[in-house]
Amino acid sequence: MDNMGGPPLCFPNLNTSCRRLLRPYSETALLYTLLTSVSLLTVLLNSLVVFSISHFRQLHTPTNTLLQSLAVSDLGMGLLVMPIEGLRYIETCWLLGKIMCALSFYIFYCLISSSLGHMVLISIDRYLTICDPLLHSSRVTLTNVKICICLCWACSITYNGLILMDNLGNLDRPSSCTGECVVVINYIAGTVDLLMTFVGPCTVMVVLYIKVFVVALSQARVIQSQVAATDARAALTARKSQRKAARTLGILIAVFLMCFCPYFYPVLAGQDTSTNTSYYPILCWIEIMNACLNPLIYALFYPWFRKAIKLIFTLRVMQDHSREVKIM
Rounded distance, CA 209 to CA 215, Å?
10
Amino acid 9: pLDDT? 78
Q: Establish if 263 belongs to a structural domain.
A: no
- Tens-digit pLDDT profile for residues 149-200: 999 999 999 988 888 877 666 666 656 677 777 777 777 777 787 788 778 8
Strands (E), the chain: 184-185, 273-274
Q: What is the pLDDT of residue 42?
A: 94
- Most confident residue range from 53-62, 94-103, 263-272, 277-286: 53-62
The answer as to whether 205 is a domain residue is: no
Does residue 104 sit within a domain? yes
What confidence category does residue 267 fall into, taking pLDDT thresholds of 50, 70 and 90?
A: low
- Specify the number of domains making up the chain: 1
pLDDT band at 135 (very low <50, low <70, confident <90, very high): confident
CB environment 136-155: b (16+ within 10 A), e (fewer): beeebeeeebeebbeebbee
Q: Could you tell me how many residues make up the chain? A: 328
Q: Band of the pLDDT at 241, cuts 50, 70, 90? A: low
Give the per-residue pLDDT at 259: 82
Give whole-number Cα distances, 232 to 92, 229, 238, in Å: 62, 7, 10
Q: How confident is the model at residue 44 (pLDDT cuts 50, 70, 90)?
A: very high
Percent helix, percent strand, percent coil in the chain, to nearest 5: 75, 0, 25
Q: Has residue 208 been placed in a domain?
A: no
pLDDT above 90 coverage of the chain, percent: 20
CA distance linking residue 18 with residue 40, whole number of Å: 31
251 burial level (CB within 10 Å; 0-12, 13-18, 19+): middle
Please give the residue range of the domain that contains residue 306. 28-186+273-324
Per-residue H/E/C for 78-126: HHHHHHHHHHHHHHCCCCCHHHHHHHHHHHHHHHHHHHHHHHHHHHHHH
Inform me whether the pLDDT recorded for 274 exceeds 60.
Answer: no
Q: Is the pTM of this model over 0.75?
A: yes
Report d(CA 247, CA 71) in Å as an integer: 23
Residue 132 placed within a domain = yes
Residue 159 covered by a domain: yes
User: Does the residue 303 lie in any domain?
Assistant: yes
- pLDDT, residue 46, reads 93
CA–CA distance, 224 with 252 (Å, rounded to integer): 25
Is it the case that residue 65 has pLDDT exceeding 90? Answer: yes
Neighbours of 23 (CB within 10 A): 14
**Confidence at 147, pLDDT banded by 50, 70, 90:** very high
pLDDT (average), residues 81-102: 84
Identify the CATH number of the domain in which residue 295 sits: 1.20.1070.10
Confidence class for position 52, pLDDT limits 50, 70, 90 = very high
CA distances in angstroms from 284 to 29, 89, 177, listed in the order given: 21, 11, 23
More confident residue, 51 or 325: 51
- 3 in a domain, yes or no? no
Residue 234 pLDDT level (bands cut at 50, 70, 90): low
Average predicted confidence (pLDDT) for the chain: 80
Q: 10 Å Cβ neighbour count for 321?
A: 6
Residues 6+ apart with CB under 8 A from 243: none
Give the residue-averaged pLDDT of 311-323.
86
